[in-house]
Amino acid sequence: KAGVTQTPRYLIKTRGQQVTLSCSPISGHRSVSWYQQTPGQGLQFLFEYFSETQRNKGNFPGRFSGRQFSNSRSEMNVSTLELGDSALYLCASSTGTSGFQETQYFGPGTRLLVL
Amino acid sequence: GESVGLHLPTLSVQEGDNSIINCAYSNSASDYFIWYKQESGKGPQFIIDIRSNMDKRQGQRVTVLLNKTVKHLSLQIAATQPGDSAVYFCAENNAGNMLTFGGGTRLMVKP
């Protein structure tokens, strides 16, 4: 079974631009979560989507948004990029059926650099 | 757990020795815990998990111990190999599928 895939793998943007990242979950998984990883803050939860609805949300500003499609693929968008948004953005998928205590499997991440 | 940023705690072990990586978690209501391994340039890889109704769980060469009284989690790796070199994260689940990660520990295996 193929793992979680994320595109693109690397991205360079300038301040003020916006960016869209994509994630395809493991086949059959319906929950997709997004995390931001930085050296200073570590791994932090952004949001979780299940059945095209945001089910949980972390403590990030409204510039960070996401969505999920009917095939469970998910995108996250960051508008008005700031230097501090430079990070590795990780997507994780799980079955989504229980809504809690589910093993999450991570993709390789998208490395975003904001100049 | 708390993030330690750039200055990750490092555990250096000799190949063949056993490794013990520790983690203090923050929320006494957390009921599910996972250990992940992250190699350079890759996403976190699931190693083993444990639910709060257990205090020990064993996998292949790995054992996770949970002490809820002191909110402590440990990962034991038997017969550590060079391929085990990575950063190890503990994560706690206390709401929905939202994971809260510890700051990580870098494991270095000396040949």
Model pLDDT for residues B2-34, shown as the tens digit of each residue: 333 457 899 999 999 999 999 999 888 899 999
- Residue B78, pLDDT > 70, answer yes
Interchain CB contact of B71 with A (< 8 Å): no
Strand A110-114 and strand A10-13: pairing?
parallel
First to last CA, chain B: 30
A:1-40 residues touching chain B, CB 8 A cutoff = 4, 31, 33, 35, 39-40
Residue B8: the pLDDT is 86
**Cα–Cα nearest to A63, from A75, A43, A81, A89:** A81
Nearest to A106 among B44, B95, B97 (CB): B44
Under-70 pLDDT residues of chain A: none
Query: Does residue A80 contact residue A63 with C-beta atoms inside 8 Å?
Result: yes
